[in-house]
Chains A and B, each alone.
Chain A
Amino acid sequence: MADAAITVEGARKRYGDKQALDGLDLLVGRGTVHGVLGPNGAGKTTLVRILSTLLRPDGGRVEVAGHDVVREAGRVRLRIGLLGQHAALDEELGGRQNLEMFGRLHHLRARHARVRADQLLERFGLADTGRKAVKRYSGGMRRRLDLAASLVTDPEVLFLDEPTTGLDPRGRTEVWASVRSLVGGGTTVLLTTQYLEEADQLADRISVVDHGRVIADGTADELKARTGGDRIDVVLRDGGQLGAAVALLPFPAEGVSVDTDRRLLSAPVTDRMTALAGAVRALEEAGIEAEDIALRRPTLDEVFLHLTGDDHRVKEAA
């Protein structure tokens, strides 16, 4: 890609006997939001730390905004913003003091650093709390200040490492809205997440990472299509009849999943209308009452499960 904001070729990083990155490839176009999706320990944070020059890769080629992260770390640092998993703020200082300090370290003139700090506080709804020490901030406020701190100089490339982990739903929505507004400004965003919904909501393209490699990438729709197209969901009134329903419904037995808590059975379908009509008829004839029958695209959860073939880890991650 000529217009790549991030290029990673065969990146490797080892900690002791754990291969955190094992020949990872990644290409992110300018001005796009790229989701890196994977369970704990897949290598997401290692990747972000390498991209943001905090960690040196053992091998491979890694370029951000057209510069090599090892040989031209200084140039990369001029062009990136980083929102790590843990707040990268001075907890003893106030919000405004933090933003001014980061502005000065980006070599803004004193006056510009002040103006910029005020703008960002305003924009992230923190104007009233600028003097308060960050250690007295709530989790959501801290996250927003952290995000503001990574935007002090409008970075070309922004890294968000699990930006909403530990936030309540409201905080999560706020962060999502901020990320969306950034993309309008032309910033390239690389976002890691364990939340499939988050990748689905925000990312133009998604790379699924497992054991330090990219095991699939594409748009959310492409990934979903790879899992085998549409699915039918049937919710029964009586969960005890799930077994019987699975036996009599006209779907191939492999690929059918059953969720007893939700009285739900789900199966891949090839021909949507035939499947729907067949299901309705079969249930009616057997006298099994259905609460809901619906056709849908697979969720990213199912995509993930399908790709990794690793059932229990996905549940942990999701």
Chain B
Amino acid sequence: MSTTYETSSPGTYGAYALADCWTMTRRELAHWARQPVQVAVGLIFPVMLLLMFGYLIGGGRGVEGAYVDFLVPGMLALTMAFGLEGTMLAVTQDLNKGVIDRFRSMPMANGAVLVGRSAADMLQSGLGLAALIGVGYAIGWRPHGGPGAFLGAVGLLLLFRFAMLWIGIELALVAGKPEMVQAVQILVWPVGFLSNAFATPDSMPGWLGTAVEWNPMSQTATAVRDLFGGPGGEPGHLWAAAIWPLGLLAVFFPLAVRRFGRLSV
């Protein structure tokens, strides 16, 4: 029992913090490995929505050109927005588990739990985007921009997801209890649909159209449509699609990190 265990190379605090973040990311990935069905369902759900809107509901009010070219970028943005509730649910569940107490009583970097969460969620969102894009291809969607524009679009989508992620973390830390997640889940739907994901704002009553245009998700969808070269894209929205998520991050990232550090103190 008196053996001393060699710790990893006596690095700086920064090196330890990175190692902790990696350990916590691996924790999330280990969860995936033990619950492959849950991960699969998470990927299939947006695909089902896409097919439902593509075939069942179809149409696309006020859209010029192929609806699928309008719909797929909208679904991509909507999936990123819905990621908020997934993050919030996961963080809330984690906070209500005893293991958080052990983490907090250990000499680990404070934010590593959150970094692990965000790394895993971003990875899952990347997979979700790939699945949606694949199915989009299968039902006839084609991006018309170049590879640079394609990567730019994916980048904007992931940036938007990253902002949603930290809003989700902050909401989870504020709400605390899993019951509160339901309330947010109910709210996420109208906010998600109150966008230009499925229809253009021009087709809506004036006040609604204005609200929809101001929805940060609409900015991302419009910019992505532009980069993919489909209908509903407007060139001027690239900046808005970058600045909105960055602004949200500037507010929610420090809030969440601070709140996590002061947890139950």
Contact = CB atoms under 8 A, between A and B. Distances in A.
Interface of A: 52-56, 74, 77-78, 80, 82, 84, 86-93, 97, 101-109, 112, 116, 133, 149-150, 153-154, 182, 184-186
B231 to A, nearest CB: 44
A77 B107 contact: yes
Interface string B106-148: 1110001000000000000000000000000000000000000
Nearest to B1: A185
B98 A88 contact: yes
Given A54-B264, A77-B107, A92-B34, A107 B16 contact: yes
A104 B23 contact: yes
A88 B5 contact: no
Contacts of A116: 5
How many interface residues does chain B have, given as a range?
A: 20 to 34
A53 B103 CA distance: 11
Contact of B99 (A90, A104, A109, A154): A90
24 contacts: A74-B107, A82-B105, A84-B98, A86-B98, A86-B101, A87-B98, A88-B100, A88-B102, A89-B102, A90-B27, A90-B99, A91-B99, A93-B34, A105-B23, A105-B103, A105-B108, A106-B107, A107-B16, A107-B107, A108-B6, A133-B34, A154-B1, A154-B4, A185-B2
Interface of B: 1-8, 16, 19-20, 23, 26-27, 30-31, 34-35, 97-108, 112, 264-265
Contact of A109 (B7, B26, B98): B7
Given A80-B105, A88-B102, A106 B30 contact: no
Contacts of A109: 6-8
Contacts of B31: 92-93
Contacts of B16: 107
B120 to A, nearest CB: 13
A133 to B, nearest CB: 6
B101 A88 contact: yes
Given A54-B105, A91-B99, 15 more contacts: A56-B265, A82-B105, A84-B98, A87-B98, A88-B99, A92-B34, A97-B30, A101-B26, A105-B20, A106-B106, A133-B34, A154-B3, A154-B5, A184-B1, A185-B2
Contacts of B265: 55-56
B101 A153 contact: no
Nearest to B16: A107
B7 to A, nearest CB: 4
B102 A93 contact: no
